[in-house]
Structure 1
Amino acid sequence: MVGWLLAGSMLAGACTASSPEVERAAPSGASEATPATEASSQPAAQGSVGRILEHLEALDRIAQRNGGTRAVGSEGYDESVAYVSRHMRQLGYSVVSDRFDFDYFEQLSPTRVERLKPRKAYVDGRDVRAMVYSGAGRVSAPVEPVGFDLRSNDHTGAGCSSDDFSDLPTGSIALLRPGPCYYRDQVVNAQEAGAAAVILAFPEFTRATGVLRPTLLSGAGIEIPALAATDGTGVELARSRTRLRITARTRYSPLRGVSLIAERREARAGDVLMVGGHLDSVMDGPGINDNGSGIATILEMARAVAAKEPDAPVRFAFWGGEEIGLLGSTAYVESLSSQQTTSIEAYLNFDMVASPNFVRYVYEDEIAPAGSDEITDLFTRYFNRQDIEFKTIDLGGRSDHGAFIEQGIPVGGLFTGAEMLKSRRQRKDYGGRAGASMDGCYHRPCDDIDNINQKVLREMVGAIRHALFALLTR
């Protein structure tokens, strides 16, 4: 899930501990007889999880033999594409490669950041990290805070307007917090104002959590080093206004990525239901919960559809480039004709459905088109009848369903939490650890096969199976 790593506070609020969530209590009718489709989904989920885990183990092996990553453009991603394509064809699906162009980013060596007086080295990954599509270069310059108010509890950053840099000394290092715009906008505005480098200090990042790697969406026009940093690093630099030496060795090159689209040849005519999730990981981890869990679950749902409803008008999608900007899903949707767009009845998205310190979330995006509430209701009624605690959440189009929202296609999905911290109330409702991330390995090397919570995975599989067949048979 790309999340706030894509943009500033306009998306950041979508999935933080204080994000809009609506707790749903079971209705008075929750004790009535459970429909047969729901009752049957529970034993089916039990058998499904074993097959899903086999897929997850295979994806983990792919990542581990390819430098610990399955990022789009890497050999690990290419192997993941081949794995999914092979399994879908074995199930009788026709598989098409849907291609898109993108810039493949590489960090050639750890980023070096050194404070000159008093001398201190900041550690790559713990204190700072080059953002995706950061420019390369060596810089020695003073730090200049821009809108970095140490006295305010409002951590919304400046830099979304070129006017914010009117007093920036040419050749300095602009120090910012994320603002209500794309990070790329802040970096480009600073660069055009004469900054030699940019450091964005994220309030969510601490020395304990380390620094994740936000994306600037494209390398085009980015010529200076652009780094993410912990909040503590930012505060320290803002107070000292010291001189830094930065060495960033990065590069990017144009590549063609691929998503997979799968349908059965014998599918009956009519509007189609789409089900998808992103196949790629971040460059810094294997992505087994994010989003191997969604992909493995979709593979299992494809098997179930082939066995039970082989002529169902359903299309499965395995997206590339989600982690660097929702690239594959956006390219696919934008390539559709108006007739093809209107033929998509709905889109279901599954991204991170086995988080270790989970909360069960049902999509309820405020910006979702008409008809999306019916999908939300399918999931919420299922959980209520199973007496399973859940919350609805507004993701703000944070994952691949965002591209479908833009085209007016009804959407829905499930999610079990990413970087956001679990509250005490949530610990009471769901167990786990309060004050800890719902997925402490989110976008990190430890997002491997040991990062899967089988209990919540089994529950999500039951809900997904119920909703999928309810939509296909109505």
Structure 2
Amino acid sequence: MMMLRRRSLVLLLVIAFIFTFVAPALAAPESVAPQALPAFDQKVVSRVSVDRAMEHVRALSVDIGSRPAGLANEHLAAEYISDVFEGLGYDVELQEFTVTGYRANVNIGNIIFDDGTIWETGAATDSAGTSIIGSVYHAGMGLPEDYPADIEPGFIALVSRGNPFTEIVANAKAAGAAGVIIYNTSFGGRGNYPSAFDPNVSTDIPVLGAAWIHGTRLIDMVNEGEVIVDLETARYTNRVSYNVIATKPAKNGNEDAPIVAVTGHYDSVVGSPGANDNGSGTALVLELARVLKSYNTDKEIRFIAFGAEEVGLVGANRYVQRLTDDEKARFMAVFNADMIATNHPNVTHLVAATPNGVQHIVTDSAAAAGARLGDSSLMPTTFGSSDHVPFHNAGIPAALFIWLGGDLVPSSYEIELFYHTPQDTIEENMSLERFETALNIISAAVFDVTRKDVPALTKSKIRN
């Protein structure tokens, strides 16, 4: 009996030794422990708060909602961003510009339910300014045989996109429809769900272009019983948008100091609340403005929220066009955040992308920050289609930070399923973990590029 107790005691001591000393040595750490970070990284990363950033996303995507360029909700978002900057103690510039280009005018439809719920959609140009109330009838592909002979006139036809719009509308009108909702079934080239659109058809009744999810949800509702909605359409021209700019001067008072910009667009497409695209990037701009406000930086930092990105990078183009030659010469780096928090499992890497694939101070500093933070998700690649492009075209080092999947090249990549759809919400399309990864890497890179060299910080750990 005593021998068994001694053996048990020895066994317990061996197990305790293994768990105390051996197991930790064998376990591969997932990330660098906070105390192992260089002091200059720890100084900023320890203060960045994903929860604070998420509150900005909530304000933009939930409290305000969709933010089409130059319309009332985008203006509300600009006001919100300006108020946050001012609350942090910044002087704020609102740079006004006219929305121009191939999407200068926009047609918007609203599907309004009895409980006050509104679904925003696109609309046919000629139907703008119309409004009708009717019962929704699911008419399949919108062929003549999809309508029963005894259907009561004045209904609203719900039709799947596929046949020519002129035929869909003509068949619906012949059957007695007072309005048409065509829901999109054309999936994006990267597998993303179909979004709202403008049906290109001439008509005298309201014709709305709804997202795929709108159509499928309406079908479910109709299958459960009668659904009565109000269709309203409008056309918007001569739209005005704003770039919202907060500037942190160099601490040494040098008015000719190099300029580093942290940027992201705050508008969204029609019909999308734009939580990830791009409430996430805008929130990063606001959070970094808060964290970096009180730190010694020997570069001038400009925090810029661009309007009208979704209609052709209009805000960023206007901003760069208005830079003086002296300002362009002083610009040393632009960190542009766009869609930095998706939860889509096939989107696997945070990338630092340049339009031509050439790496520079922005991509290099981000890669170094990721390495110091023990995060290997950051990858360089080639990608345009965001507000870093106008800076690149002006010869200014600029990179886009975005989560992508696939081969991470323009010809073969994946984006989130809910890109540009009503499902781009916090609940359906955002990952706190990925959001925090992007916040940490970008904030560490920006601070490393802009900070004033302090021996106590630099000597705490050899800088990569």
Instruction: Tell me by how many angstroms 1:44 deviates.
Output: 2.9
Partners of 1:409 and 1:117 in 2: how far apart? 57
- Secondary structure at 1:463's aligned position in 2? helix
Partners of 2:44 and 2:292 in 1: how far apart? 13
Look up the match of 2:109.
Answer: 108
Aligned counterpart for 1:43 among listed residues 37, 42, 46: 46
What aligned pairs does 1:36-185 form with structure 2 within 5 A after superposition?
A: 36-45=39-48, 48-63=49-64, 68-102=65-99, 103-108=104-109, 116=143, 119=146, 127=161, 139-140=166-167
Instruction: Tell me by how many angstroms 1:263 deviates.
Output: 1.1
Instruction: Tell me by how many angstroms 1:57 deviates.
Output: 2.1
Aligned AA (1:127)? R
Instruction: Tell me by how many angstroms 1:79 deviates.
Output: 1.4
Partners of 2:281 and 2:266 in 1: how far apart? 8
Q: Is the 8 A contact 1:205 1:211 kept in 2?
A: no
Q: Residue 297 in 1 paired to residue 284 in 2?
A: yes
Aligned counterpart for 2:309 among listed residues 311, 322, 334: 322
Instruction: Tell me by how many angstroms 1:366 deviates.
Output: 5.0
Partners of 2:354 and 2:163 in 1: how far apart? 31
Do the aligned partners of residues 41 and 336 (structure 1) sit closer, same or farther apart at CA in structure 2, a change above 3 Å counting? closer
Tell me which moved more, 276-285 or 310-319: 310-319
Instruction: Tell me by how many angstroms 1:117 deviates.
Output: 6.3
Q: Residue 367 in 1 paired to residue 393 in 2?
A: no
Look up the match of 1:254.
Answer: 238
Partners of 1:326 and 1:411 in 2: how far apart? 14
Partners of 2:202 and 2:293 in 1: how far apart? 50
Q: Residue 268 in 1 paired to residue 254 in 2?
A: yes
For residues 98-122 of structure 1, give each alpha carbon's deviation from its aligned partner in whole angstroms, at most 9, with x where no partner exists: 1111234123367699654665899
What aligned pairs does 1:73-472 form with structure 2 within 5 A after superposition?
A: 73-102=70-99, 103-108=104-109, 116=143, 119=146, 127=161, 139-140=166-167, 204=188, 210-213=193-196, 251-264=235-248, 268-269=254-255, 270-309=257-296, 312-357=299-344, 358-365=347-354, 367=356, 372-417=359-404, 422=405, 438-450=415-427, 451-472=429-450
Look up the match of 2:3.
Answer: none
Q: Is the 8 A contact 1:201 1:228 kept in 2?
A: no
Partners of 1:203 and 1:253 in 2: how far apart? 29
Look up the match of 1:167.
Answer: none
- Secondary structure at 1:69's aligned position in 2? coil
Q: Which runs of 5+ in 1 are unaligned?
A: 1-29, 131-137, 143-199, 231-247, 427-435
Do the aligned partners of residues 277 and 209 (structure 1) sit closer, same or farther apart at CA in structure 2, a change above 3 Å counting? closer
Aligned AA (2:38)? P
Q: Is the 8 A contact 2:71 2:239 kept in 1?
A: no
- Secondary structure at 1:375's aligned position in 2? helix
Do the aligned partners of residues 93 and 437 (structure 1) sit closer, same or farther apart at CA in structure 2, a change above 3 Å counting? same
Q: Is the 8 A contact 1:276 1:350 kept in 2?
A: yes
Q: Which runs of 5+ in 2 are unaligned?
A: 1-31, 111-120, 125-138, 148-155, 170-183, 213-231, 454-464
For residues 16-73 of structure 1, give each alpha carbon's deviation from its aligned partner in whole angstroms, at most 9, with x where no partner exists: xxxxxxxxxxxxxx99x6433234444333xx1121122222223332xxxx412222
Instruction: Tell me by how many angstroms 1:338 deviates.
Output: 2.1
How many pairs align? 338
Do the aligned partners of residues 398 and 88 (structure 1) sit closer, same or farther apart at CA in structure 2, a change above 3 Å counting? same
Partners of 1:73 and 1:86 in 2: how far apart? 19
Q: Is the 8 A contact 1:41 1:463 kept in 2?
A: no
* TM-score, reference length from structure 2: 0.62
Q: Is the 8 A contact 2:276 2:339 kept in 1?
A: yes
Partners of 1:325 and 1:356 in 2: how far apart? 26
Partners of 2:168 and 2:58 in 1: how far apart? 47
Do the aligned partners of residues 394 and 209 (structure 1) sit closer, same or farther apart at CA in structure 2, a change above 3 Å counting? closer
Partners of 2:300 and 2:275 in 1: how far apart? 29
What RMSD over aligned residues (CA atoms) do the two structures have, in Å?
Answer: 4.2
Partners of 1:292 and 1:361 in 2: how far apart? 17
Look up the match of 1:12.
Answer: none
Q: Is the 8 A contact 1:359 1:438 kept in 2?
A: no
Instruction: Tell me by how many angstroms 1:91 deviates.
Output: 1.4
Q: Is the 8 A contact 1:360 1:414 kept in 2?
A: no
Look up the match of 1:190.
Answer: none
- Secondary structure at 1:323's aligned position in 2? coil
Q: Is the 8 A contact 2:143 2:168 kept in 1?
A: no
Do the aligned partners of residues 296 and 249 (structure 1) sit closer, same or farther apart at CA in structure 2, a change above 3 Å counting? closer
User: 4+ residue stretches of structure 1 with deviation over 6 A?
Assistant: 222-230
Instruction: Tell me by how many angstroms 1:265 deviates.
Output: 6.1
* TM-score, reference length from structure 1: 0.61
Partners of 2:143 and 2:415 in 1: how far apart? 38
Instruction: Tell me by how many angstroms 1:315 deviates.
Output: 0.9
Identity of paired residues, percent? 25
Do the aligned partners of residues 397 and 104 (structure 1) sit closer, same or farther apart at CA in structure 2, a change above 3 Å counting? same
Do the aligned partners of residues 129 and 213 (structure 1) sit closer, same or farther apart at CA in structure 2, a change above 3 Å counting? farther
Instruction: Tell me by how many angstroms 1:289 deviates.
Output: 1.0
Partners of 2:63 and 2:82 in 1: how far apart? 14
- Secondary structure at 1:83's aligned position in 2? helix
Instruction: Tell me by how many angstroms 1:310 deviates.
Output: 7.0
Partners of 1:390 and 1:105 in 2: how far apart? 38
Aligned AA (2:441)? A
Q: Is the 8 A contact 1:382 1:463 kept in 2?
A: yes
